[in-house]
Amino acid sequence: MNVYDSARMADVLAPVGYRPVDGPEDADMVILNTCHIREKAAEKVFSELGRLRALKRRKAMRGGRMILAVAGCVGQAEGAEIKARAPYVDMVFGPQTFHRLPDMVARADAAPQGADAGIFDTEFPAESKFDFLPEEQGSQGVSAFLAVQEGCDKFCTFCVVPYTRGGEFSRPAGGILAEARRLIAGGAREITLLGQNVNAWHGEAPDGAGRWGLGRLLRAVAELDGLGRLRYTTSHPGDMDDDLMAAHGEIAALMPFVHLPVQSGSDRILAAMNRKHRAADYLRVVDRLRQFRPDIALSSDFIVGFPGETDADFADTMALIERVGYAQAYSFKYSPRPGTPAADMDDRQVPEEVKTERLAALQALLNRQQLAFNRAAVGTAMTVLFDRPGRQPGQLLGRSPFMQAVHAAAGADRLGTLAEVRIERALANSLSGRLTAPAANQDAHAALEVTA
Ligand code: 5AD
Ligand code: SF4
């Protein structure tokens, strides 16, 4: 979402004369778009600010000016602390106000050189920024993000999102479809619909008559000419309705991969996390998805060491992982976040060394599963969307339908196209193989998704 937001900030700033540059060294403005989800991410902001302060000084000594801004969820949650710890920061704003950037920049410009501009905008405005953002200026390339939903009303006890991004909001379908059309016209072959809680999306239908759910929206986006692939992330198990799950069996462009965080396999911990589902509910969703799309690959987020987590709770998480069989996953040590209920469960915090041990065991199991999943691809042919140059010259890197990273020897002319690759080698986090057809015979737009 931050990658998407940063691209939209560039769109907002283009009309007032700013364009993105490669590095911060000589920039007229530097915006740090920040994440507050775990302590590590938030701490990075302050170390990065120290580095930028030196660049700002150097530029001032040459008679220039660098506007320094902190955007995103750290700005939202820690505006006062930023002001205290880094008074040389000119602007602090949150994820819901960046459509006001031109006005903020004008105010920063008007401040006397060397003075602290002190611009703060971390309110949750009544208006939606989506009604004020200009159309996308720059192409996102072959694989594009499109925010359809933001914020969250779930209030999991460990999570800052409902406080930093605000309450759940669904964009109307009409604006989403128009943006999808523009992304495709700009070269996107793959679109990923984004939301903190994307499957809770329930936006106004294009004709204004009633509301759609995400399954209906995916069907409408899939019908747009020129789109090869469709994905969505991130979903909450409680919002996986039958229409959305059925869409996986019906829409050819909808990739057979779902990121479906469970966080824990223990009902006791899930209740303490206020996840509003039990382990069995999650497994039912997984089974139902597999009914509609037997080859669907699953991914998840896990938190180890949530306050009060015992060895038995952790064993339940390991058992759930064994039962599901993941293609990939993200896992984290529980990180207490200021202002969230779990951070106040002082008496029950799990010791650091226990967290470390549990995370290592969990990641070892997930890595084994990922390697097994990748090995099963060896010998099959997969359609790969090449979206970047590979590590070696003459190589491209892309994604399989199941989100695996795939390397293959291919010329730069294949960049941005779908191509069939026969998989020859599997590592824990990537595959490699060779193209099945020479360049002349490949029609990128007509290539079929092969999900052997
Ligand atoms: N500590 C550790 N992990 C967290 N996440 C969210 N909040 C915390 C926290 N306080 C993880 C969850 C979520 C992912 C985006 O980040 O697993 O799904
Ligand atoms: Fe955070 Fe996701 Fe829970 Fe919402 S559903 S509070 S975004 S973890």
Ligand 2 centroid to residue 154 C-alpha, Å:
6
Query: What is the reported pLDDT for 115?
Result: 66
Query: What is the reported pLDDT for 447?
Result: 44
Ligand closest in space to the Cα of 42: 1
Pocket test for ligand 2, best of 149, 154, 235 (most atoms within 8 A of CB): 154
pLDDT tens per residue across all 452 residues of the chain: 999 999 999 999 999 999 999 999 989 999 999 999 999 887 889 999 999 999 999 999 999 999 999 999 999 999 999 989 999 999 999 999 999 999 999 998 888 776 666 888 888 888 889 888 888 877 788 999 999 999 999 999 999 999 999 999 999 999 999 999 999 999 999 999 999 999 999 999 998 889 999 999 999 999 999 999 999 999 999 999 999 999 999 999 999 999 999 999 999 999 999 999 999 999 999 999 999 999 999 999 999 999 999 999 999 999 999 999 999 999 999 999 999 999 998 789 999 999 999 999 999 999 999 999 999 999 999 999 999 999 889 999 999 999 999 999 999 999 999 999 999 999 999 999 999 986 544 444 444 444 43
Sign of CA dihedral 144, 255, 174, 241: negative
Ligand 1 centroid to residue 38 C-alpha, Å:
7
Query: What is the reported pLDDT for 442?
Result: 44
Contact 374 CB / ligand 1 (< 6 Å): no
Q: Ligand 1: which atom is nearest the Cα of residue 331?
A: 17
Ligand closest in space to the Cα of 259: 1
Q: Ligand 1: which atom is nearest the Cα of residue 263?
A: 17
Q: Which amino acid is at 77?
A: A
Residue 337 near residue 39, CB atoms below 8 Å = yes
Strand, helix or coil for residue 4: helix
Q: Which two tokens stand for residue 307?
A: 């306050």
Specify the length of the chain in residues: 452
pTM: 0.93
Contact 38 CB / ligand 1 (< 6 Å): yes
| Angle in degrees, 0-180, between the axes of helices 352-375 and 311-324, rounded to the nearest 10 | 10
| Angle in degrees, 0-180, between the axes of helices 214-222 and 242-250, rounded to the nearest 10 | 20
Ligand closest in space to the Cα of 300: 1
**Which residue, by CA, sits nearest to atom 3 of ligand 2?**
156
- Per-position DSSP letters for 157-183, written without gaps between them: TT--HHHHT-S-EE--HHHHHHHHHHH
Q: Which amino acid is at 167?
A: G
Task: Classify strands 29-34 and 190-194 as parallel, antiparallel or unpaired.
Answer: unpaired
Query: What is the reported pLDDT for 114?
Result: 64
Query: What is the reported pLDDT for 438?
Result: 61
Contact 153 CB / ligand 2 (< 6 Å): no
Residue 420 near residue 414, CB atoms below 8 Å = no
Ligand 1 centroid to residue 332 C-alpha, Å:
7
Q: Ligand 1: which atom is nearest the Cα of residue 342?
A: 10
Instruction: For the beta carbon of residue 163, count every other beta carbon within 10 angstroms.
Output: 18
Contact 276 CB / ligand 2 (< 6 Å): no
Distance in angstroms (rounded) separating the CA atoms of residues 18 and 15? 7
Ligand 2 centroid to residue 330 C-alpha, Å:
15
> Among candidates 403, 395, 396, which has minimal Cα distance to 377?
403
Q: Ligand 1: which atom is nearest the Cα of residue 340?
A: 10
Task: Classify strands 297-304 and 328-333 as parallel, antiparallel or unpaired.
Answer: parallel
Query: What is the reported pLDDT for 117?
Result: 67
| Lookup result for tokens 């191509």 | 419
Contact 306 CB / ligand 1 (< 6 Å): no
Ligand 1 centroid to residue 450 C-alpha, Å:
34
Residue 340 near residue 160, CB atoms below 8 Å = yes
Distance in angstroms (rounded) separating the CA atoms of residues 405 and 390? 10
Contact 162 CB / ligand 2 (< 6 Å): yes
Instruction: For the beta carbon of residue 409, count every other beta carbon within 10 angstroms.
Output: 16
Query: What is the reported pLDDT for 259?
Result: 98
Contact 334 CB / ligand 1 (< 6 Å): yes
Residue 370: partners with Cβ closer than 8 Å, 6 or more residues away: 326, 327, 328, 329, 428, 429
Contact 130 CB / ligand 1 (< 6 Å): no
Contact 261 CB / ligand 1 (< 6 Å): yes
Q: Ligand 1: which atom is nearest the Cα of residue 261?
A: 18
Contact 197 CB / ligand 2 (< 6 Å): yes
Bridge-partner residues for 300, per DSSP? 329
